[in-house]
Each structure stands twice: as C-alpha cells, then as structure tokens.
Amino acid sequence: MSEYINSVIENCTFVRAFGHKLKLFYMYKFENIIRVRYGETDRMGYVYNGNYASYFEVGRAESLRNLGISYKKIEDEGFALPVRDMKMRFFKPAYYDEALKIVTTVREKPGIRICFEYEIFNESQALLTKGDTTLVFVNKKTGKPDQPPAYVIRAFEPFFD
C-alpha cells in the first residue's frame, strides 16, 4: 500500500469572461498523505498541536522533491533554510492512524524567502488544520540571507510565468 500519493494538483485557475480565457492566479500546489503515528497523539486522543510543524515540514519537503529539489541537497550546498515564522489554525482534531492529506501551496515565486501554505484534511475530506511557514535562504558562509540556488528558482518558473 502506498502511504504517500503525491501529485501536482493544479497550478493556476482560469475564468472565462467576455469570450476570453483569463488566467487568474498562479501557484504550485502539491499533495501527499501522511499516516498519524501513535506517539503523535496526546491524552485527549488528538494529534498533539506541536506535531503539525513536522507534518508541514514533510509537506514542503515532498512538494520540493516533486520538483526535483532536495531540501537536503540545498543544505549540503551551503544553505541553511530556517523557519522564520509559522502559523497554524486548528478546526478539527486528527486521530491516531488516520491517513491525512497535506496540501502544500506556494503562491509566490521564491526568492530569499519562500512561503508555503498547508491545508490538512482527514479521510472524510474535512479540513482539520490550516497553516503557513516562511523560510529564509541563509548562506552558511556569510550567515546572511541570500538568493536561493538558480536551479531552485528555475524549478518554480513554469508555475509562475
């Protein structure tokens, strides 16, 4: 059985108006599945709130991998990618053993900063959690924020042109 069903689910939205097809907005959207582990639950029986940070991380790492970008390789090439800020809003709890769908969206072409949005759904397609994170490309040599490697920018170009 496949735990991770990954796919690019859409990259822009079109509307038809006055006989023209108008591209409304661009984005990169990706989804994958994650199975809730026992140790991720708490005594309420819910997934503990702190564990969503880890689910978000899996969402963004897999969404990058789908573009041929390895988070690990970026780090090995001399960048650190610390999280600058993180927000999450909880609508419904997730439970042990549920196969959660993480939808990860990048709405803006990445530069020094890269923003990811996340939506987490349970098997009944109920929205459980929304969140976002901003990460900064930091050059390990200088310790300063820096432009990401060129191939990272190129990988996102098809979604924003």
Q: How far is the CB of 16 from its own copies (least distance, A)?
A: 35
**Binding region for its own copies (CB under 8 A):** 1-4, 6, 35, 37-39, 41-46, 48-54, 57-58, 61, 65, 70-72, 75, 80, 82-90, 93, 95-97
The one-letter amino acid code at 155 reads A
Residues 6+ apart with CB under 8 A from 39: none
Is 22 strand, coil or helix?
A: strand
Q: Nearer Cβ to its own copies, position 58 or 153? A: 58
Is 24 strand, coil or helix?
A: strand
Report d(CA 11, CA 33) in Å as an integer.
Answer: 19
Q: How far is the CB of 88 from its own copies (least distance, A)?
A: 5
Q: Nearer Cβ to its own copies, position 1 or 15? A: 1
User: Can you tell me which residue has the tokens 């991998």?
Assistant: 65
Q: Nearer Cβ to its own copies, position 6 or 11? A: 6
